[in-house]
Amino acid sequence: MTSNLFFVLFLTSISLVAASDSDYVPVNIATASNAAINDSWARFVYWQHPNGKIMLEQRLGDGLEPQEIDVTVTPKAQSPLSAIYIPSTKSSGAYDLVLSYFDSANQIIDSTCLYKDKKYVEWSTHEKNITSASGLALVNFNGTRCRFYVNADNELVQDIRGALTPLGPKVAKGSNIAATVPVGSTGIHVFFIPDGDTTSLASLTFDGSEWSEKLPTLPNFAPEEKPEIGFAAASWSDPLTVRIFHINQDTTASEWTYTDGSWTATSKDEFKIQGATAGEPVAASQSMNGSGRYIEYFYATTGNTIVYLAQNSEDGMIFQNKFTEFEVEKPEFTGLTRSDKIALGVGIGVGLPTLVVGIVALFYARKAIKVKHSGNSKEGKWHKTKVFLARFLRSPKPKSNSHGAATGSSGGSL
């Protein structure tokens, strides 16, 4: 009995190591859209497998399986992703695809290819010689590729063909970025968590000539000290409507809509989802009302599935579809991380002494039993061992004061 008890205590303490890290790995997603046309729904979707590989999947009904992108620079694990597509000028019915991601040093990398005749061809990798502290967003604005990121000084920066322009506002350390070009518009909206107010969502708007803080700040958007939460944006013009999507702290899908000069929470009962993780990366796709692809919100579940919520029109019903699923192989052991080492130390620090005490106690108990059977009195070793075990295993009884009330409490003093 004693040996079983100590063995259970030992296994319980060691289990801290196994519980120190979840198997779930956030899956970054990027919808490749073309804001230059009104029918701009995401015909291609990129996503990063938990093993670090970036996958590309088309939505044109061509029956092509998801494919790992062909790159010469390895993506960073859990890298932010942003993508666009443009109808190719080289071949009718073909598309030029561009994906931006981070390498292991947070250098921005572009991966490009041509989708033609149901194949991805002409792969090319381009190092941009730009380092981002956090955040990455890419849009096609009037035929020009515009990129946004956060530099080492926590400034929001615009990159157009290598011309870098700090846009002014300071961004919270670790904040993500979302950018959107309203359908039927020539403007850009860029969203971020601002420095000094890390629970709000701020933005800058480009009206075709200058940047300004046109939209009001959305308060109480992010949880305290978690500016790195994922969010996505979609927008339409005439009148200006902007939607922001993210996964709430209670792991439900959340939507905010800007219209008529203010933000309104517009989450609906249909947004109830299963398997999502609070603050995880998300992506959005938009198109003109009546195109049949009005809005789509993508996210990954803990069940290794990517799904999307969608509306076919502005007032249409919300529904959910599975986009793709994937298998997660157990990674090869590559050494312990710092958190692994801490957890292992806790497990050993608690479990090993417990095991040693158990073995010693068991040894003396067995020895004392033999002595007792030899006829020793209760003042012998067996009696002393029983006293030792009783003191070690018993739970302390609460003491009483002169009024008969307990003097101790769980969680604090009275």
300, 340, 341 from 335: Cα distances, Å: 28, 9, 10
Domain map of the chain by residue range?
Answer: 2-18+337-393, 29-325
Longest distance between any two alpha carbons in the chain, whole Å: 102
- pLDDT means per 10 residues, the chain with 414 residues, are 43 40 79 80 94 94 88 96 92 93 98 95 96 96 92 97 94 97 90 96 95 96 92 95 94 94 88 86 93 92 92 92 84 50 54 54 53 48 52 49 36 34
> 135 near 174, Cβ under 8 Å?
no
Q: Distance between CA atoms of 99 and 148, rounded to whole angstroms?
A: 13
Q: Which two tokens stand for residue 81?
A: 């992703």
Helix then strand then coil, in percent of the chain rounded to 5, is 15, 35, 45
Q: Distance between CA atoms of 13 and 17, rounded to whole angstroms?
A: 8
Q: Distance between CA atoms of 332 and 173, rounded to whole angstroms?
A: 32
Cis peptide before 182 (omega within 30 of 0): no
Which are the contacts of 382, defined by CB distance < 8 A and separation ≥ 6? 368, 369, 371, 372, 376
pLDDT of residue 63: 80
pLDDT of residue 410: 34
pLDDT of residue 30: 97
> 146 near 137, Cβ under 8 Å?
no
Instruction: Give 197-251 as a DSSP string.
Output: -TTSBEEEEE-SS-EE--SPPB-S-S-TT-TT---EEEEETTTTEEEEEEE-TTS
Q: Distance between CA atoms of 302 and 247, rounded to whole angstroms?
A: 13
Where is 297: in which H helix or E strand?
Answer: strand 295-300
Q: Which two tokens stand for residue 177?
A: 């970025």
> 225 near 279, Cβ under 8 Å?
no
Q: Distance between CA atoms of 195 and 4, rounded to whole angstroms?
A: 55
Residue 223 CB burial class (10 angstroms; 0-12, 13-18, ≥19): middle
pLDDT of residue 342: 56
DSSP, res 195: T
pLDDT of residue 5: 41
As assigned by CATH, the class of the 29-325 domain is mainly beta
